Structure 1
């Protein structure tokens, strides 16, 4: 990671700790949005050039890559760094969020198919609405407002 990335993560950590916001909620909102902005800009640029297939590939590929690459740092830590202890994930909603992200990829393909394989404002509105619903439910789940999940803050 670059120095800028380290500073951003540190600042977000301090803000989250100061406001009493769990790390998972900070990751679901601010960090996720920040890492997705370059993908969004690239998708918009190629879609405006009439290359919707590239835009879709970027969107789906980015989500799949983000989800599946979680295994790499876990693998490295458990095989090379600390072979005795498993990696503890500080997220009560990991299964919920992962399943929802997987379903969002399926939904995106179905929605694009129903829309005649065209990316237009209607599909954009539907996708934005689904994202807001997902983010809201994920945050409420992580905060323990819905579900039976107590809020866990990171241990120092």
Structure 2
């Protein structure tokens, strides 16, 4: 059946594409047909995105096609004739930059390498590199080690932010919604930026919303649960609820205005939407800081400072 589809169809489907079209016929069950139809839609959408970006799949030497996965988009030389692809040499620029023993050539990259060398060396010797063939089977060790380092860095960041806020007389809530929030959201920002550049705007937007939901429900639920059930069973965790009420109202308003702005922009991510959300963040930050400093109403007691 696959051979018949491949030989009779004008586009000359590849074997996987023909197999998917065979499996949506009534010879298979409803669940299988639905899954294969979904896979066809996903493949077609990816093909349209690649066509819009001027990228196409190139054949390899063994006759197979190179799949576009995880953002690794193959680029073709427009001067080459069709069907003749020049072998592309490997580009170990990123790997060399991340290596603690390889100095990059560019001046800007060299300055970054010198500034981050202690961190690169520490992570390079403690986390197995799964991109190398000899470490492919230790991906779970890499995941667990990276998670452990994230926990260590998060603890150090919270400790430093607390000390800095106490030194300059800044309330903990202000440090939390500014420096601490920015430090913990940088990985989410980078992930959203990467998928947005790949044309997956829906994934970028859903990541921003889902990551914050995860932070609120899991990031707060797990430590509070450990404190009240494991460390000190039956205890309670007290929070400043007066200022928190205004922060929650501002947060809900920011989310509503963000969704409204995306809707008014016809669900497209462009520079106008970027400026809009940055202005919203600046307004949210200003109002939150003024509320915590008792500008509108009294929500926080003054911080007690030790005598010199």
Larger radius of gyration: 2
Query: How far has the Cα of 1:127 moved from its partner?
Result: 0.5
Q: Find runs of 4+ consecutive structure 1 residues off by over 6 angstroms.
A: none
Q: Aligned partners of 2:166, 2:201: CA distance in 1, in Å? A: 41
Aligned length: 154
Number of the residue aligned with 1:56: 205
> 2:183 aligned with 1:34, yes or no?
yes
> 2:266 aligned with 1:100, yes or no?
no
What TM-score comes out, normalization by structure 2 length? Answer: 0.46
Shift in CA distance, 132/47, structure 1 to aligned 2, threshold 3 Å: same
Instruction: Map 1:2-21 onto structure 2 (within 5 A).
Output: 2-21=151-170
> 2:232 aligned with 1:82, yes or no?
yes
Structure 1 unaligned segments of length 5 or more: list them: none
Shift in CA distance, 114/98, structure 1 to aligned 2, threshold 3 Å: same
What TM-score comes out, normalization by structure 1 length? Answer: 0.87
Residue number among 116, 121, 135 corresponding to 2:271 in the alignment: 121
> 2:286 aligned with 1:141, yes or no?
no
Q: Report which of the two has the higher share of helix.
A: 1
Number of the residue aligned with 1:24: 173
> 2:227–2:235: 8 Å Cα contact kept in structure 1?
no
Q: Aligned partners of 1:120, 1:140: CA distance in 2, in Å? A: 31
Q: CA RMSD in A?
A: 2.0
Q: Aligned partners of 2:221, 2:253: CA distance in 1, in Å? A: 19
